[in-house]
DNA sequence: TTGAATTGCGCAATAG
DNA sequence: CCTATTGCGCAATTCA
């Protein structure tokens, strides 16, 4: 349900420093000129309780300073880089996995085909074998009651797994 | 899939990347995902407010107004929701794919085992056949005292695929 | 303690 | 106009 809306305070940010995208050229025909800035967004629900207001009276000098800090920017940049790297890997991995699926599927089919083939071969041999056995039995057998010899169609399937 | 715009510099040229957003730091350490919406949020963001917000540098009221807009917030919220949903699906899909890999691997093993078995069976049968054939061709005599000469090229495996 | 890697999240552009 | 995707940056965490 509702989501406590978030607040965003105006961040007193007027950084004059950073920003700036250097070249957008390349392939940007239409101007998306819009700045792509995200600007502040939610506000931390302050732990401060008290029931007063939440105005940002002070305390942000430090923060501001932090953000302007060269140190900070550097860290951010490094992290952004790491993030990109990580995400790239993640995507790559996903793709690899997908491909693995395809490969395995293919191999599976090959294996199944092979099984089919082997099964057939086996069945043929078995038939031959049985046939032979019958012949032998018939032949070797002395004249006796061999009347109803029916070379029954012997099925060769006795596979179980 | 074309996104002409976007200025991203990968090159760590100068820290000019831009954008300075500050996202708040959620004060809640543990709560993950779901629960962060009930955090105490004091946020104004009133739509109707006509007033001024405490903006230090005064200048972008218009823009700020846009962001304060109920409409805007609503859209953002919807989008955030959609984003979450999309990402969830993405992750789920990745997991499914991974699992598929495992299943396929298993099945593969089963199939290979089966192939091995069938091959063995086949080989045995073939051997039997050959033996028999030799006996037949070799002797017309009773299979008892075989003079002891097995001239046959005894192949025990003739695999062909 | 430190820095890279991950992860959750929101924004904005854009694809559908 | 709305939702779904996607690239991105921030910050909190987790790993080494």
Partners of A64 on chain B (C-beta within 8 Å) are none
**Which of A8, A48, A81 to mutate to probe the B interface, most B CBs <10 Å?**
A8
Secondary structure percentages of chain A, helix, strand, coil, to 5: 50, 0, 50
Partners of A36 on chain B (C-beta within 8 Å) are 6-7, 18-19
Tell me the CA distances in angstroms from A19 to A2, A14, A34, B7, one per residue in order: 35, 11, 13, 11
- Of all residues in chain A, the one with the smallest CA distance to B34 is A3
Phi/psi for B62 (5° steps) reads: -55, -50
The top-scoring range by mean pLDDT among A56-65, A116-125, B150-159 is A116-125
Higher pLDDT, A69 or A80: A80
Tell me the CA distances in angstroms from A23 to A19, A27, A80, B16, B157, one per residue in order: 12, 10, 19, 11, 70
Write the residue in B10, B18, B37 that is nearest to A21 by C-beta.
B18
Rg over alpha carbons for chain B, rounded to the nearest Å, is 39
At B93 the three-state DSSP class reads: helix
Rounded Cα distance, B131 and B155, in Å:
10
- Of all residues in chain B, the one with the smallest CA distance to A118 is B118
Nearest one of B60, B66, B67, B24 to B42, comparing CA atoms = B24
Task: Output the pLDDT for position A113.
Answer: 98
> Which nucleotide has the shortest C1'-to-CA distance from A76?
D10
Contacts 24+ apart (CB under 8 A), A75-78: A77/B12, A77/B15, A77/B17
Q: Is the pLDDT of residue B36 over 60?
A: no
> Which nucleotide has the shortest C1'-to-CA distance from B19?
D9
Rounded Cα distance, B83 and A97, in Å:
23
Do A8 and B67 contact (CB within 8 A), yes or no?
A: yes
For the segment A30-47, the average pLDDT, to the nearest whole number, is 38
Q: Is the pLDDT of residue A71 over 80?
A: yes
Task: Output the pLDDT for position B130.
Answer: 84
pLDDT tens sequence across A114-147: 999 999 999 998 888 788 778 877 775 554 443 3
Do the Cβ atoms of A45 and B44 come within 8 Å? no
Spell out the residues 6+ positions from residue B24 whose beta carbon is closer than 8 angstroms to its own. Answer: A40, A41, A42, A43, A44
């Amino acid at each position: 349900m509702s989501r406590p809306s978030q607040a965003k305070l105006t961040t007193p940010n007027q950084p004059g420093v950073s920003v700036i995208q250097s070249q957008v050229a390349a392939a940007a025909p239409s101007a998306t000129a819009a700045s792509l800035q995200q600007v502040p967004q939610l506000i931390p629900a302050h732990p401060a309780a008290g029931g007063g207001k939440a105005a940002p009276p002070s305390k942000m000098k430090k923060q501001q300073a932090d953000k302007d800090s060269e140190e900070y920017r550097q860290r951010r940049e490094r992290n952004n880089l790491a993030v990109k790297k990580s995400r790239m890997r993640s995507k790559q991995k996903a793709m690899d996995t997908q491909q693995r699926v395809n490969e395995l599927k293919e191999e599976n089919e090959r294996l199944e085909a092979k099984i089919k083939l082997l099964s057939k071969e086996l069945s043929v041999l078995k038939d031959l074998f049985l046939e032979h056995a019958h012949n032998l039995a018939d032949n070797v057998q002395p004249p006796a009651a061999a009347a109803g010899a029916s070379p029954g169609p012997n099925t060769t399937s006795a596979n179980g797994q």
